[in-house]
Every structure is written in structure tokens, then in C-alpha cells.
Structure 1
Amino acid sequence: MIVPTSNTQQPTDYLKRYYGYDRFRPMQEAIIQSILSGRDTVVLMPTGGGKSVCFQIPALMLPGLTVVVSPLIALMKDQVGALHMNGIQAAFYNSTQTSKEQRGIETDCISGKLKLLYVSPEKLLTESFFQFLSLVNLSLFAIDEAHCISSWGHDFRPEYTQLHVLKEQFPTVPTIALTATADKLTRQDIATRLGMNDPAIFVDSFNRKNLSLQVLPGQNRIQQIIRLLQQKPDTSGIIYCLSRKSTESLAAKLQEKGFSAAFYHAKMDPEDRSKTQEAFLRDDVRIMCATIAFGMGIDKSNVRWVIHYNMPKNIESFYQEIGRAGRDGAAAQTVLFYSFADVATYKDMLAENNPANLGLQLAKLERMQQYADAHTCRRQILLSYFSEELPDPCGNCDVCRDPRVTFDGTVLAQKALSAIIRTGERVPMNLLIDILRGSRSQQVLQGGYDQIKTYGAGRDIRFEDWRSYIHQLINIGVIEIAYEQHYALRRGILADQVLYKGRKIDLVRPDDAPKPVVEKSRAKTETQRDDLFERLRVLRKQLADEQNVPAYVIFTDTTLEDMARQRPTTPDALRNVSGVGERKQQLFGKRFLEEIVGYVRGRVEAGQKPKGSTQLITLDLYNNGLTVEEIAAERQLTTGSVAGHLVQLAKSGYDIDLISLIDPFERREIEKAIAAVGMEEGRLKPVFDYLEGRYDYGKLTLVAGLL
């Protein structure tokens, strides 16, 4: 473990040392300063925005113990494992441990060995735990997933409501509450229920620019999902389904197609559920078909896509679930399949359960439906829900990339509704279209549908276009599908308004509507991933398995991308890669450098000159026994350049005997010259002139390097 330094250092020093980053993300440093000043703090920051750093760095800087309240026991082990990998002393405390293990943790907390302790609210609120806390020097309480405290929130948990006792029992210990999703009502409720004193409230932008947003029509979902997955081989993603049965059947179908898929839901055996989650976190399973039981606090940074097989019941849930993609900041794709049937299912469920806040839940469902139906920038709609304005369309959603052109489709809607009513609301979609187009098919004639008034009323519209219009009318609630009556079409909730009350309906022409084909990511949002990145990813998985941790805990995808781009071949150069902190440099630096050096050498042998190769070519020639002059002749370089390579290699830890490369007498004379004229900004020309050109720049460089 790295021993925390004195708090005379700045937060940025800790960021670089433990996390390997040079700069904070927006708002992080201000939040940290708020906590260090002892003020209660509420933080709303999107998933993947870096909430954990906001309390982990104060935990390192403050003298006592930070207690982190987390709702999911299953994730504490991984969270603590990631902290250990960064050289931070932490532990989790929950019911999976023996009493002996818990006593050991208590001893470490009391003695000051630990900086962070993760605990569930159930464990925290026991009398014995409060007695233990009274013996500890406490610096901070961090309440993660704080929206669980509010009955207005989308994931209310009754045990969270008792957390106000922390402020009552320990009034001088500051509290930070963190959440990724909370509307204004929930934000106010969090501070009130925790008993906070004049809290500082930080609301970061909810705009996750790296996530592309797309809504697709709900037919042929499985075929569309398979197309998406074929475009994204060897990537991790989550498919959210409404029912447990759907997760199992979808996972089975994907497995049949050769995909690495598993399912996850609340009714699984707890041990199987834990193993499945672990396999996904460790990249042993790539695709997770899951209900919403899977997800809160999932800290897997390299999820490249999230698909919603069914529409979520509110925007908070949708935002939190898509937020599990692209937590490393790299481009990620989100796809929502939408049909009006999903809305009807939720309404039936609500009517059956009749919750106390039925009106609120229906209103939130309606906002979610408006998002899915939208023909304007989806990100603007999403952000406006969280009281954030996006002045211009985002350019990274399906509507922005393919703007919709609407027209007044009221007459078309009326024709379709008239045909539905005149057929007794008994015919499915294809037969209804045949009737509208005036077909002489056997089904039309046998049913006598050629005799109704609307027969042939839409003969000027193509069959496929009618299908598109009817799907849109279903999605906006003008028409419904009677699943229990062999998929017959019937009047929807807006039907009477369209037929009798002058309700106008806007439709999108089929050429402008979203196509039921998963699109490829645009070139400008694609991350640069070459064969070196893939080699580094394989190495990362190997190291993760050796360390028994998820792969992203070793390094994130964005760190591997930066490594593949910079191609460092020395320890000094590796330190410049974003996300390589001191502890990870110690643990893994040598293995990653060996992989990069091997890759660069292979490219050199193939006749290429990749970045980072020039010093390695010099090193190989040196190891073969050539002198500086011989290497310069072989490579057609100056002796000064070759000597510079060797000095840099020696500084970076390679076994270069610089002393043996220069005659002792020559070295002393050059050292005297350097002492006489100095070396301003490393310039050697004054030394060269002082010695009247008796020694070349290679020898001057070697002596300067030794000095």
C-alpha cells in the first residue's frame, strides 16, 4: 500500500498519485474543497462522472476514517478491491464475513490503519455498529445512491430513511450524499431526511456526450439486436428486459447464435446470481440480459452499449440504466426499443397494484413515452427533465443525425380508425392494410370486407408505408394491439379525439422514420483501437484473472487507448499515460511495457518505423556490442542522437553502462568545460566551442547525461 502523505499537499497531488490523472473533471475539486472545509454536501453527478473520487480523496486527506454507506453488499468487495489496486487502505463490513473478520476490521479502524470502510445501511443501523463507531476517529460519512432515501425517488428503500440518526449521533462529522439521478423534489428530500446543516449542493451537467441515443421501432427486436452485436464483436453490454422470462429466453437465443451471453434476475438462486454478475464484471461473459434487478452501482467502466428491450417506466430509471455504458468516457451506444404495448403493460401493472403515488407514476410514465415518441433532439428532452437546458441539438442522437420531417397525418389516422371500427375491431394489421388498399385477396373477400365503406380508401399508399404509419399510430396511442385477440387492431386512447374532437396527428414519412436497423457508430465518435490495443486488452484480462479482480480495475479502456496511442517504451513514458498511478505502475508497469516493446520491435522487423521504435533500435544495436560511433554509422544518425537515446534509456531503467562508453580522461576534461561555461537549458554548443571541437556531441551528451 502507498502510505498517505501529509495534507499539506493539494487534491491534485492525490489525484495523480493514486489515480494517475493530471486534472479533475468539472466540479470534482470544488466538491472536495467543500468536504475538506467540513460542510455537509449533496452531489448530483451523472453515472460515470467520477462521484467516488469526490469522497475518496477527502478520505485520504482527512486524519480519520470515512464510512461509506452503500446499498449493495455484492459490489462492496469489487469497490474495495479497486481501492486496494490504487494503493488505498479500505475494507468492507457486511454479513458475508465471520465475526473474527469483522473484529479484525474494527481493530484496524480504531487503530487508524484504514481510510475507508464500506457498509450497508442495514449493518450500519445496528446498535453494536454504533458502539463500534463511537470508538473511531470519524472524518466523513458518504451516502452513496442517496436517491434511495426519498419516497419521491425511483428506487426508494425504507432502510435509508433511518440514516438521519448519523447526524443525530455524530453532529460534528460532515456528510456527503451522492446520486446520479434525482429531480428537484428528490434533491430537497435528500438533504432534509439526512438532517443536513445548510448543505452545499453541486449539480453537475447530466449531459453524457459520449453516449449516443437511439430509439427504434419495437418489431423484430431480436433480429435487430443480433445485427448490433455483430457490429460490436468482443464488447461488453447490457440488455434490459421487463420480465424475468424475457431475460432467460433472450440469453438462450443469443447463445444459440454464438454470443457470450447470460441472464440475471431477482428470482435466481443468490449464489448463481452472484456468479453471473462476477462473470460479467470480469469479461468472462460479454452480454448480460437482465431485469432492473441488475445494475445499481455496477462500476464496470468498459460497457460499450446498453439496449432496452422494453421501455423503462420513468426517465430516472432510463437515465441511470443507459449511464452504465461508457463510464470510462469513451464512445458508447444506447438503443431503446419502443412500442405502445410497453406503455399499456405498465398501465395495467399500475392499475393492478394501485400504489399510493399512482398519479406521480403515471405522469413519469407519460414523460418517458414522450421521450420515445419524440421527433426533436432526444438529449434536449432528457436534460430538460433534470432541469438542465441544452441550447442546441446534441448531434449524437438518431433524431439529430437523421432529422424527422413531419406532415399532417390526421386524415390517414381517421381512415385507419374507420376501417378498424367497420371491421368490428377484429382484424390484424396486414389484413387491415389489404382492406385500406382495396386488395382482392381471399381473406378480404371471404370476410366481406370489400363491402365496407372504407374499402380502398388508402389505395394510393404503398403497403410498407401503411405499416409504418400504423406503427406510429400505435406508438402514440391512436391504435392499440389486442394481443389477447390474435393481434387484432382496435381503437386506442386517442382514437375518439382524432375521430370526433379535432385532434391533429403528426406523422413521419417512412423515408424519414427511424429504420429498424441498428446503425453503425459515426466515424468521429469511434475510438482509435488498433491491434496493439487488442494485445493490451488480452494482457489486462490475464493480469485481472491473476489478481482475481475485474479487468477494468487493472486499467480502463481509455487508459489502454492512451497507452496504445502513446506507445511508451520506458517507465518514465508510461507515467505520462492517463490513469497510471504509482501503485499500478509498480504492480503492472513492467508487463505492459514488455508488451508494447514487443509490439514495436515486431513492427520494426516488418520494415515499419512505429512511434517509440527509434530508441529501441539503438538499444538492440548497443546490446549487440556496437559502439556509439558504430550505431550512428549503422543508423545514419549523429553520435549526439545515439548518445541521447542511450542516456534516456539509462534514465528509464534500462541496463546501459554509460561510464564504459567514455574515456575517463575525456570525461574529466568535458566535465571541467561544462563547469566553466555551464549548460543553459541543456545546450551543449557553448561546451563544444569552449573545447574547440575536440570532442563530438556524442561524448558531450554522454558526460552531460552522467552529470
Structure 2
Amino acid sequence: MELVSKEELNRALKKYFGFDGFKGFQDKIILNVLSGNNTFVIMPTGGGKSMCYQLPALMSEGTAIIVSPLIALMKNQVDAIRNVSESDDVAHFLNSSLNKTEIKKVKEDVVNGKTKLLYVAPESLTKQENIDFLTSVEISFFAIDEAHCISEWGHDFRPEYRRLREIFAAISNVPIIALTATATPKVQYDIQKNLNMLDATIFKASFNRDNLFYEVLPKIEVEKRIIQFIKTKPNQSGIIYCLSRKKVEEIAEILQVNGINALPYHAGLDANSRARHQDMFLMEDVDVIVATIAFGMGIDKPDVRFVIHHDIPKSLESYYQETGRAGRDGGVGHCLTFYSYKDIEKLEKFLHGKPIAEQEIGKQLLHEIVSYAETSVCRRKYILHYFGESFDEKRCDKHCDNCKNPREQIEGKDEVLMFLEAVKALKQQQKAKYVCNFLSGIQASDIIAYKHDILPLFGKGSAHDVGFWNAVSRQCLVSNLLTKEIETYGTLKLTEEGKAFMKNPVSFMLLKEHNYAAESEEDFMMNSKGSNNMVSDENLYKLLLDLRKKLSQQKNVPPFVIFQEPSLLDMAIQYPINKEELANIVGVGQGKAARYGVPFLELIKTYVDENDIDRPQDFVVKSLINKSGLKVHIIKNVDIKMPLDAIANSHGKEVDEIINEIEAIVASGTKINIDYYINDMMDEDEQEEIYEYFREAETDNLKEAFEEFDGDYDEEQLRLMRIKFMSEMAN
């Protein structure tokens, strides 16, 4: 590969993407790739990882092979790169979703040198026909996106990723760039070793996402709180993660009933439904996607304003990855998590029956997420410490709940010293839970088996409970007095700072930890205020948004593919009226200006001519609160097949009123299954007769239905069958 100057690199960035400067280490990473060196990039979600292989691919001879784990993610990446280019041939994906004709077209474009980026699933790379084909063409370099999938210690381990190095070697001896948003030091080494690239130049950006607000709440009236929270953010995009498919469906329906535009996304949906729901989210036809925790990389949307975890994820890596979906455009992102230890117990059950080593890894990862949830330390500091990065909590600037509402502090010098002495007395061979039980004087079977109950320190800390000592252990770790030995699944070791503390103890202020099991709603009120400090012409901005939406529907691409929000906001400040001025707007390159610019320039010019503009206005977001508790309870009770008369009695209402509510639920677009109730009052033939009537009728008017059947069915039967029909056919 030819050496490239920084000036050439900056010109290429402006030409292809419309940006005036690089973020963080992007320029150094790209120059390293273009110099033919192996490269390892650890950069948080939203930090601009994709640019690190997209720009060098566009600048290099041959085709770059991008390994990506999800079909949906590949599609998004390909669409994005095509929309900053003049030709769609510049990028393709090769995976199981393509038919033979489409595969032939992809290969022809690669052979003819038109395609600079080819996204490939790891499973597709293992096919000999694809290996043979790629061996026959010029490859510029290999890129592995989501490289943490290689490591068993990563949060999304994929066995097929472990074979990538041997496949690369069979295709071409070109450089490799591996990229991930989440890698602890252990995962980082594991990736490099597996790819045989210990010689790689490492670029590790800060994991700090200073535009994200982190918050953990106790799991009390969680549906109500989620609805209240979302209602303060009208028309803003958000993702809600749940542990199970059933919960995804339930939460999506509850949101719909409460007037929130939401859809489910999980592996149990058919492929067409998943694709449709995701596209509606990307196209801004729906505000909120409710998804299983296993899902995440498929949603690549820059303007997600909040990420809610209805259930705690299984690791801190997963949590960081999923919360990182918020605010990728640099705007405000609120990360709200609901925590109950019962969720942890559910996740622990999933580990049963797995190999011992996998169980130990899983338990260690769960311990870390529990520690994060329960800690009163700055959440940003805790996350960054986990990824091997030090952070002064003063820099958090009240951007997490613990810094915004600090917990009570007590002098803990003696307790910290006692804990460190216990770690030493136990020969630095035990985990935190063991040390806490030991100091509390708990006669656990393993403590007795090791005869540690006869040591002088056993029970010396019994004035405090295990929860207190857990807090001490966590704060010792974050303060670097202790470290965890990963290879032994969390054994505590003294650091040099810890040994120094034992020789010369100094004041140590302990934070009182959260006790989520005992928290009441009054103790822990949710903070959901947001702000938007952008200064722009609000009226013009709205007109630009409307135009973008209209064009997105015409061209069948997500709105943000045309122009992202920062670009529209910049237009509403700069008022560009020609292509040269438009090209200087943030995020607008020559390709986009040529492809989409004309209607925006016409709109802005007309607006400037018709209005006397002195000063931009503040952009204000209005909030709305709405409650619909009865509908939520009806959906829940129908889900457990409770008779409608029992539901009515529990609310002091008549069955007729409950049917009214169910009709309203179905009319709002929510599916509801009352077959269990209908089956008890009507046989199959009767149901089929009424169902066929509604299928062929020109109106759903009940009076006409009653007359059609000459009174054979009463009003309640007809109403229930109409509900069934509308739920199944209309929704």
C-alpha cells in the first residue's frame, strides 16, 4: 500500500464524507491501515469505528473484506456507505439472505473493481466456493467488526469467529484491522492471540461517553415508570431491552395501549416482521423498539435518545454495548436500568448444565453487573475502571444518578484495613463473596472445609452485614487497593497501593450503598428531565425535518441516511443556499450534496427570502403525561386467561365495560387474544359462521350483524367475535 499524507487523508475525508476533521485517533488508525500494518481498535460505540475501515477501503486498490456478525447490521452499513457515494456498486454484502442472481451481481462488481467494501458473515467465509472466489480477486485488507465475538470472555462469543485467522491465511496475506467497542484487557489479549496479531498497533480510545446519563432504579412499578419516562420524551427514538420474548411482546403492547408508538423485535418473529419493524424504527415511523437483550448490533441508528433495560443484562460488557446505542450522534442519551436481584437469579439458572468453565465465567460476569447496579460510586468511574481506564469522578459533572444524588459517606479507614487484612490472611486465593462471608462470621461450608473459621479474623466484622462488606470490596477495587485475578474467576489480590495502605492507613470515605431490596418508590424517585442546548431556527428545522421525512418515503431510505439531525440543525443555523455552502455543513459531503441537496437548498432559499431572520430560536421539547392503568391490567389478565367477568369484578365494573376497553385496545392497533373466553361460550362452527360474516361484510356494524343472523347470536357474542376478527385481520 502507498503511504498517504495527512493532507491527502483530510481531502479524502471531505470528499467522501463531508467532514472537516477526524474524531479521536481516526486519522492515526487509518494511516496505520493504509501503511499495511495490523491494527487493533478499541473504541466505544459512537466513537466512529466504521470510518476506520470505510475510508481506507475507499482509498485503496482492491476490495476490503469486512466480517460482520449480523445481516441487519451489514445491510445498514452498506446502505450508509452507498448514500455517501455516487454509485450503489461501491459496497455489497455477501450472506445467506441473497439469491443466486444477487450473488452473481455482487461477484461481478467485485471482479470489475467497482466494489470497495464487501461485508461478509463469518459463516459465509467458511464456504469453499467463497474462499476460492476471494482468492481470485485483489483484497486490500480484512476488517473484523465486533471483534469481541472472538473471545469466550466477551459478551457475545461466536464460535465461528475463532476460525477467521485460518480462513484469512487461505485467502490472502494482507493486513487485518480488528475493531470492538467493548474489550477488557483479558478480552483484548484473547482477540489478538486468536488472530495471531500480537504485533498489531493498538489504538484504545477512552471508553467515556460523556453525553450519556447513567441511572439505575429499583424494579418497582416498572411499566408505569417506563411509560412516564417515555412520555417526557415525545417523538424521540428509544430502545427497551427485555430478558425474554414474552416480556418484549408484553411491554410493546402496554406501550401501544398507552399511546406510545412501539413495536417488538426478537428472534421469535418471522424474518419479514423483524425486517419491517426495524425499518419502521429506522424510518421513524415508530419511536420505540422493544427487543430481547441478545439483540442489539442490528440497530445502528445515530439519534437514539434513550436506552431502557427492563431487565439487567448478563454482563457489564453487554450493558456498555447496549447503552452505547444511545446518543451516537453526540446528542443527549439517557440510559435507564431497572434492577432487581431476582433478574440475576434468573440469569444464574440459565448457566446450569453448561460446562464448569463457562459457568464460572458467567458467574463472574454476573457478579460484575450486580456490583455496578448496587454501587454508590460514580457509575461512569465504575464502568471505566472495569475496562481498565482511570477516571476522576469530578469530571462526571452529575451525569449519573450517583453523582447527581450523592449517597451518605462514612469514615471507613478501619473497615478497609480489616478487609485488606482478611484478603491477606486468606492468602489472596478467595473471591469477594468468600471474604465478605468470612468477615461476617458466616459458617459457610467452604469456610469450614478450609478451616478458615479458626483464623483470628473470622467474624471480626460481624458488626456489619454481608451487604456492607460487599460495598467495601467494591470500593477497594475501584480505588485500586485490590484487583481481581481474571484467570481464577475473580480471586482478590492486593495491589501495591493496597499494600501501602496496610502499612500506613489513611482516611477512606465509604459511600453508603443502594439497598434495592428495601427501596421504596418515595426513596428513589426517577429523574427524567432532559435539555437540548442547540440554538437554531425552530421553524426552519421543522420544515427540514418534514422534507427529510417526505424524501425518505419517496426514496425508501431511513431519514437519517439523507441527513442526520446535526446536519439539519447546522442548516437551520447556517442557512446554506448553494451547493458550496451546503458542502460545508457538518456531515454533508460532495456525494450527499449532489444526491439530496437540491430540494433542501430550494426550501432554505425560499425561507430566507420570505423571512427577516435576526436570531435563531431555542429548540424546545414539550413533554406529555398520559396514564391508562385499566388497559394495562386488562392486557395482563387476558394474557393469563382470566375470565372477563373476573376481570370486571376485580375492577368493580360490568363485563360490558371491560369489552368496551378491549375494543378500544384492539382499535388502537394492539393484538389481543380472547379465544379462551370465546371457546367457553361458543362452539367452533358458531365462531366460524360469525367470523366469515365479518370477512365478507361491507361494515362491522353490530346492528346489521344481529339482523343478518335473525337474533341467533346476542350482542356480546357478536362483539367478542368482532374483537377476534379485528385483532387477527386488522392488526
| TM norm structure 2 | 0.67
Distance 1:348-1:611 versus aligned 2 partners, 3 A rule: closer
Gaps spanning 5+ residues in structure 1: where?
410-476, 478-495, 613-707
In 1, Cα distance between equivalents of 2:3 and 2:317: 41
Show CA shifts across 1:264-283 (max 9, x none).
Answer: 11112222122111211211
Distance 1:514 1:307, change over 3 A: farther
Aligned counterpart in structure 2 of residue 39 of structure 1, from 11, 24, 37: 37
Q: Deviations over 1:645-703 (max 9, x none)?
A: xxxxxxxxxxxxxxxxxxxxxxxxxxxxxxxxxxxxxxxxxxxxxxxxxxxxxxxxxxx
What is the distance in 2 between the residues matched to 1:351 and 1:500?
35
- Structure 2 match to 1:184: 185
Q: For 1:561, which of 569, 577, 584 is the aligned residue?
A: 569
More displaced stretch, 354-363 vs 538-547 = 354-363
Paired with 2:537 and 2:160, the residues of 1 have a C-alpha distance of 45
Cα offsets for 1:250-306 (capped at 9, x unmatched): 111110111110111111222212211121121111101110232114221111110
Q: Does 1:519 align with 2:528?
A: yes
In 2, the alpha carbon distance for the partners of 1:391 and 1:548 equals 46
1 CA distance for matches of 2:100 and 2:568? 40
Partner of 1:342: 343
Question: 5 Å matches for 1:509-548?
Answer: 515-522=524-531, 530-548=538-556
Amino acid at match of 1:547: K
SS for the counterpart of 2:329 is coil
Distance 1:30 1:262, change over 3 A: same
RMSD: 2.8
Q: How many Å separate the matches in 1 of 2:514 and 2:169?
A: 58
The 1-side partners of 2:190 and 2:385 are apart by 20
1:529–1:281 CA distance, 2 compared to 1 (3 A): farther
5 Å-filtered alignment, 1:119-518, equals 119-170=120-171, 172-196=173-197, 198-351=199-352, 353=354, 356-393=357-394, 394-395=396-397, 396-406=399-409, 503=466, 505=468, 506=512, 515-518=524-527
Distance in 2 separating the partners of 1:497 and 1:171: 63
CA deviation vs aligned residue, 1:215-237 (integer Å, no higher than 9, x gap): 11210111111121111111110
Instruction: Identify if the C-alpha distance between structure 1 residues 115 and 391 changes in structure 2 by more than 3 Å, giving closer, same or farther.
Output: same
CA drift of 1:498 comes to: 9.1
Alpha-carbon offset, residue 245 of structure 1: 1.1
The amino acid across from 1:577 in the alignment is I
Shift of 1:565: 2.2
| Map of 1:693 onto structure 2 | none
Number of residue pairs aligned between Structure 1 and Structure 2: 519
Counterpart of 1:594 (choices 588, 598, 602) is 602
Distance 2:223 2:21 in 1: 42
2:220 and 2:521 in contact (8 A); partners too: no
Give the structure with higher Rg (CA): 1
- Alignment-derived partner of residue 19 in structure 1: 17
Give the counterpart letter for 2:542 in structure 1.
E
Q: CA deviation at 1:355?
A: 5.3
In 1, Cα distance between equivalents of 2:45 and 2:584: 26
Larger displacement relative to structure 2 (211-220 or 170-179): 170-179
The alpha carbon displacement at 1:568 in A equals 2.1
What's 1:664 paired with? none
1:516 CA drift (Å) = 3.0
Contact 2:265 2:274 in 1 (8 A): yes
Name 1:53's counterpart in structure 2.
Answer: 51
Residue pair 1:567, 1:611 contacting (<8 A) in 2 also:
no
Is this contact kept in 1: 2:376–2:513, CA < 8 A? Answer: no
Is the contact between residue 12 and residue 23 of structure 1 (CA under 8 Å) also seen in structure 2?
A: yes
Take 1:539 and 1:261, find their aligned partners in 2: how far apart are those partners?
Answer: 23
**Residue pair 1:235, 1:286 contacting (<8 A) in 2 also:** yes
When residues 86 and 515 of structure 1 are mapped into structure 2, their CA distance, relative to the original with a 3 A threshold, is: same
1:406-464 deviations in whole A, cap 9, x for unaligned?
Answer: 5699xxxxxxxxxxxxxxxxxxxxxxxxxxxxxxxxxxxxxxxxxxxxxxxxxxxxxxx
- Whole-angstrom distance in 1 between the partners of 2:66 and 2:41: 14
Task: Give the 3 Å change call, closer, same or farther, for CA 104–26 of structure 1 in structure 2.
Answer: same
Deviation (angstroms), 1:213? 0.9
| Paired-residue identity, % | 43
Encode CA deviations 1:166-185: one digit per residue, 9 max, x unaligned: 34224531111111111111
Cα distance in 2 for partners of 1:503, 1:95 equals 52
* Structure 2 SS opposite 1:10: helix
What does residue range 551-630 of structure 1 map to in structure 2 within 5 Å?
A: 551-604=559-612, 609-610=614-615
Tell me by how many angstroms 1:33 deviates: 0.9
- Matched with 1:10 is 8
Please say if residues 13 and 19 of structure 2, whose CA atoms lie closer than 8 Å, have aligned partners that are also in contact: yes
Q: Could you tell me how far apart the structure 2 residues matched to 1:504 and 1:140 are?
A: 51
Provide the secondary structure at the position in 1 that maps to 2:393: coil
Q: CA deviation at 1:77?
A: 2.3
TM-superposed CA distance for 1:197, in Å, is 6.0
Which residue does the alignment assign to 1:445? none
Give the aligned residue type for 1:17: K
- Which residue type is aligned with residue 339 of structure 1? S
Distance in 1 between residues matched to 2:58 and 2:465, nearest whole Å: 65
Q: Which position in structure 1 is the counterpart of 2:60?
A: 62
Between the aligned partners of 1:335 and 1:122, the Cα distance in structure 2 is 35
> CA contact under 8 A between 1:144 and 1:178: conserved in structure 2?
yes
1:550 aligns with 2:551: no
Q: Which residue of 2 aligns with 1:83?
A: 81
Partners of 2:83 and 2:356 lie apart in 1 by 45
**Offset, 1:569:** 2.8
Structure 2: state its 5+ residue gaps: 413-439, 441-458, 469-511, 618-731
